[in-house]
Structure 1
């Protein structure tokens, strides 16, 4: 039986009564052929590739509580056995309890993300009044990204490497299990530092977007390790732009500047002295007022010492040239 429908997120949550047709949208992450559901199958082999020559037509893909796990495990940091044993849960506690809310209150500084989310949505609606939006790393709602989940005109497809109420497909961004040219917009916030090969993920983003499809990415520049063994890469503003060289830039810049970098550094320095990140967090939180100096930073200097950067762009058929990236530099060291 070919998959004819899949639960999608509309207006920020999975609607259990509304099944939107996604016939032909899902693809095998190994060979990009269609995916079929196996009737009366064991959860370990709930979906299979439709190409008989593909190994995944026999090995198949598991499902966890009805969520398809469309991962090419032979080419991923994820292990089939570990994902199934953990029931798809995250290795990290991602609950947002009282202490986390207190932490966010003291640590969160002014950011352009909320305004950028509105711009991203407007750009996607230029392509279609009811755009399909893929949220890579969509297991939780990103900081200041609530607009995506409030807009009833958006159809959100949330993917992540763990299961949550917002995860519709467990997937590895290196092999997005969706058809080429199927998505109007892609939101990838605080994700690209956690993938082994960011260039491959961005190439996949380019592949699945419709012509002129839009992408919004936020990625750290100066931040310490924050996802343990799943933290790999950082980008300068210019390096981030080069990563998206096959996209036309609508806007780009920094999300948070040197004051936040200093708080991160204090947190990890004190944590190293006491052998406790909790103690380090307490020490940095006591200096939360330093974040208010962020607004005094000169933009060019802030760019050279930013905590994180963002890119809003449109899918293009032409690539930025190497010499153009030198002219792109906006820092204070010209």
Structure 2
């Protein structure tokens, strides 16, 4: 039996997951609960902290931004699926507080590993608690870098999709560590395509441009000189403000194919296929400009 915490079923596989059911069922005051566990709980702030939290979110929107370098998005993927299917069930993994438009023919299921208001279920992408062929589409934005085994997770995505079902995924390439110990993997454009080799490509490309990646890299370069959390906070804000103009170069680079070799992140949108592409076929999908071998 799985517990239900604050109205949300916690469907974690204790044997396989880096998370534990105890992370979500113990209170803050329980012995042995760590800072990580408290953060995983995603508990709502006290009323006295809500104004401060709202002001902080407003400031973050001004400072923590990226210039769109993508020709596709999760919203466009949802619209595509809604037009293609008369009634679609869409699974959103790692949803956070993201919500998609209410459409008459679409039913959403939101999951995350954080216990909060946004998730219908708390579950781990390595072991999705849903039957085979349960969904028509899966949305995974900035999720697969935070899983221990992304290929197992891609297999789980394929398992829960109906034949011809859709997947939209975004993963980082040229990005520094974020979310601390829960950050494991990076993918090139071609590596990301191989991750979804059991799918037929509809759209694929750059999600975050090289300019955004450069700004991010400069930020972490400066942060490397400091260890105190208070100092790092002010350094981060200062560098983000200083590097903000750099990000606008992505409006130019977004149209240059060679930029994929230095992209901050990549996306894939495709349909579940009858057979996987081979690694020899995979090479044909390369779209950068870093040519090592002469092409006949």
TM over 0.5, shorter chain: yes
Q: 2:269 aligns with which of 312, 323, 328?
A: 312
Q: Which residue is equivalent to 1:85?
A: 26
More contact order relative to length (CA 8 Å, sep ≥ 6): 2
Q: Equivalents in 2 of 1:233, 1:259: separation in Å?
A: 21
Residues 130-279 of structure 1 mapped to structure 2, 5 A cutoff: 130-141=87-98, 148-275=100-227, 276-278=231-233, 279=235
Closer/same/farther in 2, CA of residues 301 and 127 from structure 1, 3 Å limit: closer
TM-score (normalised: structure 1): 0.75
Q: Equivalents in 1 of 2:126, 2:191: separation in Å?
A: 19
The answer to whether the 8 A contact 1:127-1:213 is kept is no
Q: CA deviation at 1:90?
A: 3.6
SS at match of 1:323: helix
Closer/same/farther in 2, CA of residues 192 and 75 from structure 1, 3 Å limit: same
Q: CA deviation at 1:152?
A: 4.6
Closer/same/farther in 2, CA of residues 161 and 89 from structure 1, 3 Å limit: farther
Q: CA deviation at 1:110?
A: 1.6
**Number of matched residues?**
269
The answer to whether the 8 A contact 2:41-2:114 is kept is no
Higher deviation after alignment, 84-93 or 130-139: 84-93
Q: CA deviation at 1:286?
A: 2.2
Q: Equivalents in 2 of 1:280, 1:216: separation in Å?
A: 31
Q: Equivalents in 2 of 1:126, 1:211: separation in Å?
A: 17
Q: Which residue is equivalent to 1:281?
A: 237
Higher deviation after alignment, 62-71 or 310-319: 62-71
Q: Equivalents in 2 of 1:223, 1:98: separation in Å?
A: 27
The answer to whether the 8 A contact 1:249-1:314 is kept is yes
TM-score (normalised: structure 2): 0.84
Q: Which residue is equivalent to 1:112?
A: 70
The answer to whether the 8 A contact 1:136-1:187 is kept is yes
The answer to whether the 8 A contact 1:269-1:280 is kept is no
Q: Equivalents in 2 of 1:313, 1:125: separation in Å?
A: 15
Q: Which residue is equivalent to 2:286?
A: 329
